[in-house]
Structure 1
Amino acid sequence: MTTPIYTAKAVKDWEGRWFADGNSSFGLMKQASLALCLQIIDFIHKNNIAQADIIAWCGVGNNGGDGYLTAKYLAERLDNKHFNVQIIAPNPPKSADAVRARSPCTGMPMCDDVGGVIRKFEKVIHLDALFGNGLDRELDKAYQDIIHAFNVQTGTKIALDVPSGLHPDRGIPMPVCADVDMTLCVMGLKMGLFVGVAKDFVGKVINLPLIPPDDELSAVAYLSDKPKPPTRQSTAHKGDFGTVAVVGGHRRMGGAVIMASQMAMSMGAGRVTAVCHAMHHSAMLTRSPNVMVADIDEMSVGDLVGFDRVAFGMGLGRDAWAEMVFDKVMDGVVHHAFDRVVLDADALYFLTKNPCKLPNHVICTPHSAESARLLGVSVADVNNDKLDTLYRLHERYGGQWVIKGANTLSFDGIRVQVCPFGNAFMATAGMGDVLAGMLVGADMSVHDVVAWHALLGDRLADGAMFGIHACDMADVADEMAWVGESDREK
């Protein structure tokens, strides 16, 4: 089950159609605020918070209106001896609904900056209701200062919809944004919560749907769920699970092809051959004796097309020898109907120099810098709009695409999915090689493989203090294959 993700405009237009059908905009604000209130109370109970100051920072628009009403509902539902609900309103409300929402709050403690807050308890919860989904411009200096003041506060911070200052579609600060522990996203998930640098700011994201989707509402992407591993018939044999060639391994760079080959085997491939420089054969067989080896210098296109799936580029290098291998392999990739081909690392470097239209069975797996090189743009351009980058890569080169990083994006030519799993410990050498091996080893969609890769990384990072080793991912895959369903859900 995947959850749809929308652009800010799609959500605003959806709301507009809802109002055009005769539904009340203030009624929807009350509904949203009640949902936010109940979610915050649930958070308080689950975290055993017995008493706290709750401070709602309210802006001038409808997100500010959500903040006023949420604060009012919290004050009504929580014991005022143990919960002190206050409002910071740097400026008076401007939208009609926000003005209406503030009206019942007149008896509550309210000030225009944090200096006017009266603290009663050690614990504090700050609610960001300054802009939400409504920001369509860079913040002026006054609001930058307000958000800085919000960010330096101690305690738990919760955004009511998109963290203020974060671009709702591109996930970049404008130029600063609220840094929160939890984002309560009303109506539907926004793309800006999952791209750019959003993961540094949004905390845990919880979706609070309010009204039914209509026929005109269209998702821009989908949030991946935890995939289930494929099942096997009791009478299956290795021929049912494909033959894989992992091609790469320059004489000075054997580790990448070794990790990718072992991972392909761990993900279920029937037979895996590491096609690499002969000097790595001994290391490959020592590491994983169930992987076969072949000399890359003796490989022909005819040999290559005998495999069902091919991963190419890991540890290939960028010298004249590597370019010769690239030309030979790509001749087979373009003209033969493999089940799946993965181009990674140095194969993408040579693809930039020798661009061609790729068939849809080819999956390319660049990170941001490789994506920038492939399109002739800067890394900042890529990171500022990864969704557009994904579409441009597909338009220029064809094939399927994975842009690796926090909240990896995958595009199979039909739909985009966002991977919510993974962690910063995975930012280490070899993780991309492991993903390439998984993509050719597993009988799963590109989206599900990306999710499994991140989940394995989460399992490996559990308890890590400084870092993890990509070469251990295969061991985790073998271990997770034996855990029960209840364990897998953890």
Structure 2
Amino acid sequence: MPILNLLRSLPQSAYCATQVLANEQCVAENQGVELYALMEKAGQAVFSRIQEQYSENTQLFILAGKGNNGGDGFVLARLAAEAGYKVTVYLCAEAEQLKGCALTAFNFLQNTTVTVLYQSELALSSNFFKENQYDLIIDALFGIGYQGALKSELAEVINLINGTNITIVSIDVPSGLNATTGYVATTAIRASETVTFIVAKQGLMTGQAAHFVGQLYLATLSLNECFQQNVDSQICLQGQNAIPSCPVRNDASHKGHVGLLLCIGGSVGMPGAIRLASEAALRTGASLVAVCCDFKNHQFVVNGRPELMLAPGDAESLIKSHFFEKAKAMLIGPGLGQNEWSSALFQVILEEKRPLVVDADALQLLAKSPCYRDNWVLTPHPGEAAKLLNCTISQIEENRFDAVKAIAKKFGGICVLKGAGSLISDGERIWINTSGNSGMASGGMGDVLSGIIAALLMQISNPIEATRLAVYLHGKAADDIAKKQGKIGMLASDLFLPIQQLLNQ
């Protein structure tokens, strides 16, 4: 049964847990697959993955719950035992609590060599794993229907397993992770890899999920195509096989065709952010870039990059300048600060109708004076998103999908909610970006992204396509760097040349 690397098998729609739970049985029956047969296919898919990837690991510890996720684990346990593996199932329930397909799968274990331990009979300890020397742990505790906080005794079991240094494979979703939102209320299994079933679950692709899911694989169980055809989703994954096309430069083009980008930011003592955004825009194809920053930062901004132009640094002079008149698009926020100077510039830019990217400090100003417009792109991180929605960062992270859509609806235009698995929304649809890595957790990365978006807004007529492409290229450039040099020590400015190379491939 084929198992796909999700990031290499795009395009895919992504679904919330409710959609999958409500439709999987109907879709399976339409394809002539009964519910228990579906459980058998799921267990077989994970066992096939284990045989393929972990052929030397013959001692399995399976953490199982009482629901269908546990049932998938029971099927896997039986198949592994029949193949000669030593298998121990630790059931975090009593046998009397099992029902339906999970009970059927459990009953099939009775005539095998599988050892079944019950939580009520055995308190797990680190010594248990040392003494038994398991090669692989299978997480079949909770499936996609799980939400909320773990009971303390289950949290203790998960924390113990996470501390064993034994490779963990999660079935469908790491236990403790909300498959709809990607939020972890208490703790969750930190899997080396997760094999999810039928379709992509949206919560496995964004936010906290990055710390728990590991490598993500999809076992379609031969239902993926039918499911996507019959169940609508407003959420899509985007990756190398599902992104908008890069702009094509006409052989007769000149700098006036792409036009001038005006970048506003760089308050006293903060020249780096606006320089990064501006240079990123140049590397992404903006033909002309002018920077409006505090006069004291002029030398720092253009040092070593003479292609950048300097616009007047105060609001009154700026609006009278030819830079302001000629600008095809604008970017405001990197290093802008929160003072009288920045507020005056922000108000001037808000009155303009040209395409605009709003980032960093400008988002803080927008939160204080909310307004609505259709042709801008807002690029908050969770802290800035919390200010825009007048809530806490924790509330943003509890449901990033609701948050990104709410910002786009409240303020108009497009919102990019940054972070692992950045989300892009126009208020109706949401795209989950799949490029990028933890090496991007360094200063200036967001500034570079804002410059990429602004430059592509000038070259691609559809703003959502320009934004989606920008977010993907930003992450892909970092992925290319990580492959060659590693993640630690990656600088925002390291992305410039890889971005140029990706645009021209």
Is this a same-fold pair by TM over 0.5?
yes
3-state SS of 1:72 partner:
helix
Q: 1:342 aligns with which of 352, 357, 360?
A: 357
Amino acid at match of 1:429: G
Kept after mapping to 2: 8 A contact 1:301/1:328: no
Once the two structures are TM-superposed, the CA of residue 279 in structure 1 deviates from its matched residue by: 3.1
Question: Percent of counterpart pairs with the same letter?
Answer: 27
3-state SS of 1:316 partner:
coil
Distance 2:330 2:138 in 1: 50
In terms of mean alpha carbon deviation, does 51-60 or 6-15 score higher? 51-60
Give the 5 Å matches for 1:261-340: 261-297=278-314, 298-300=317-319, 303=322, 304-332=324-352, 336=353, 338=354, 340=355
Distance 2:29 2:134 in 1: 43
1:186 is the counterpart of 2:207: no
Q: 1:358 to 1:454 in 2, by over 3 A?
A: same
3-state SS of 1:357 partner:
coil
Q: 1:122 to 1:12 in 2, by over 3 A?
A: same
Residue in 1 aligned with 2:491?
A: 469
Amino acid at match of 1:399: G
Distance 1:464 1:50 in 2: 29
3-state SS of 1:213 partner:
helix
3-state SS of 1:163 partner:
coil
Once the two structures are TM-superposed, the CA of residue 51 in structure 1 deviates from its matched residue by: 4.3
Kept after mapping to 1: 8 A contact 2:284/2:503: no
3-state SS of 2:113 partner:
coil
Once the two structures are TM-superposed, the CA of residue 351 in structure 1 deviates from its matched residue by: 0.8
In terms of mean alpha carbon deviation, does 250-259 or 139-148 score higher? 139-148
Residue in 2 aligned with 1:488?
A: none
Residue in 1 aligned with 2:423?
A: 409
1:9 is the counterpart of 2:18: yes
Once the two structures are TM-superposed, the CA of residue 287 in structure 1 deviates from its matched residue by: 2.5
Once the two structures are TM-superposed, the CA of residue 150 in structure 1 deviates from its matched residue by: 2.6
Q: Deviations over 1:177-204 (max 9, x none)?
A: 1111101111211122123411111111
Question: How many pairs align?
Answer: 469
1:158 is the counterpart of 2:169: yes
Amino acid at match of 2:113: M
Q: 1:365 to 1:301 in 2, by over 3 A?
A: farther
Once the two structures are TM-superposed, the CA of residue 425 in structure 1 deviates from its matched residue by: 2.4
1:387 is the counterpart of 2:401: yes
Amino acid at match of 1:87: V
Once the two structures are TM-superposed, the CA of residue 56 in structure 1 deviates from its matched residue by: 1.8
Residue in 2 aligned with 1:100?
A: 104
Distance 2:98 2:133 in 1: 34
Amino acid at match of 1:467: G
Q: 1:222 to 1:305 in 2, by over 3 A?
A: farther
Once the two structures are TM-superposed, the CA of residue 472 in structure 1 deviates from its matched residue by: 2.6
1:124 is the counterpart of 2:130: no
Residue in 1 aligned with 2:34?
A: 24
Q: Deviations over 1:10-53 (max 9, x none)?
A: 00111142366574111111122222222222222xxxx43431
Once the two structures are TM-superposed, the CA of residue 481 in structure 1 deviates from its matched residue by: 5.5
Once the two structures are TM-superposed, the CA of residue 346 in structure 1 deviates from its matched residue by: 1.3
Amino acid at match of 2:254: H
Once the two structures are TM-superposed, the CA of residue 381 in structure 1 deviates from its matched residue by: 0.9
Once the two structures are TM-superposed, the CA of residue 394 in structure 1 deviates from its matched residue by: 1.6
- Once superposed, what is the RMSD of the aligned Cα atoms? 2.5
Q: Deviations over 1:88-132 (max 9, x none)?
A: 223225121011112222212213155798999966111101112
Kept after mapping to 1: 8 A contact 2:137/2:169: yes
Distance 1:117 1:258 in 2: 56
1:74 is the counterpart of 2:80: yes
Q: 1:233 to 1:74 in 2, by over 3 A?
A: farther
Q: 1:301 to 1:331 in 2, by over 3 A?
A: farther
Distance 1:329 1:272 in 2: 16
1:207 is the counterpart of 2:218: yes
1:177 is the counterpart of 2:198: no
Q: Which sections of structure 2, spanning at least 5 residues, go unmatched?
A: 1-9, 460-464
Amino acid at match of 1:145: E
Amino acid at match of 2:259: G
Kept after mapping to 1: 8 A contact 2:367/2:388: yes
3-state SS of 1:168 partner:
coil
